[in-house]
Amino acid sequence: MEGAPPMRRSRFVARSIFAALASIALRSAPAAACDAPRAEDGRPRAAGTPVRVPLGPGDLGVLPEACEATEASLETRAAVLVATDDLYGSLQAGVGLRGRLVVADRTWLSLWTPSLEHRFVANATVEASRTSLGGGVLGAHHRIPLGSVSVAPFARLLLPTETGFERASRWGLEHGVVATRRLGERVEIVGGFAFTLASTVNGGRSLDVLSESLSADLVYRPWRAFALAGGAGLRFALADARPFESFDPRLSLRFYPVRGLFVVLGAALPLWGRDRTDAGLAFSLGWQL
């Protein structure tokens, strides 16, 4: 560097300092959540799992996991709306099966079977109820490790298995990205976005709804048998005159009592948007290999 102009010398020093700091940062960054070792007693890690309290068909609009795993679970869902000023209320509840299967390195498929759903609606003078089948969902996911961050693009297809429509059927397609990063030995952050297109077809006519959801959750696992996750999401109906659906604070309690078994309780409280649902609830009971 003897004889080099001062400007060139300063650029060389700046680049050297930047390279050294970047190297230190990369070496000190925690490993990606998906690469964390499994607990010695075999309890599921559930790494990269956001709070899953869906308010749409077949879990569409709610981010999937960012890490691969093979598992199966029984899923129950409920949503409650009580509008006392309008003398109106509704209750929706459903139960179905959900599974994931690792098929290649960092690649997995997901399945939501058509669930059994019940809906009860009441106003000042009329009550009505209906039991029907919900939509089935097939998904494909692939994880891309980027240093301490794992990013997983995904695509899911809503199948027209719903029986609650009169002479109509509903298809759907969703794509998005979910990412996760460990912030320490016991803490990780999970977030991402999804775009969903649902099309209800009746004869030669169709009603198309395009929506977007964004969310971020913080997961804290103080013990191997328990984790607490909390965060919030935003939902939008992009082509609607009032596109803001809701702001959704949510929370889940996760228990891992024995090898492979997991139990998850979740709740979401939609606020401020045009979605008038008071609360969404979820319960999961499953086994991870």
Closest C-alpha among 194, 261, 249, 195 to residue 218: 249
Q: State the Cα angle at 61 between 67 and 206, rounded to 5°.
A: 135
DSSP 271: B
Q: What is the pLDDT of residue 39?
A: 65
Closest C-alpha among 90, 203, 92, 110 to residue 158: 110
List strand residue ranges (DSSP E) for the chain, in order. 71-83, 88-104, 107-112, 116-122, 127-133, 136-142, 144-146, 149-159, 169-182, 187-202, 205-223, 226-237, 244-255, 261-268, 279-288
Q: What is the pLDDT of residue 140?
A: 98
- CB-based contact 149:162 (threshold 8 Å): no
**What global pTM score does this model have?**
0.84
Pairing mode, strands 279-288 and 261-268: antiparallel
Q: What is the pLDDT along the chain (289 residues), one digit of tens a residue?
A: 445 454 444 445 445 544 543 443 344 456 677 876 666 777 888 889 999 997 777 788 899 999 999 999 999 999 999 887 778 888 999 999 999 999 999 999 999 999 899 999 988 788 888 899 988 999 999 999 998 899 999 999 999 998 888 788 899 999 999 999 999 889 999 999 999 999 999 877 888 889 999 999 999 999 999 999 999 999 998 878 889 999 999 999 999 999 999 999 999 999 998 888 899 999 999 999 8
Q: What is the pLDDT of residue 202?
A: 87
34-288 is classed in which CATH architecture? Beta Barrel (2.40)
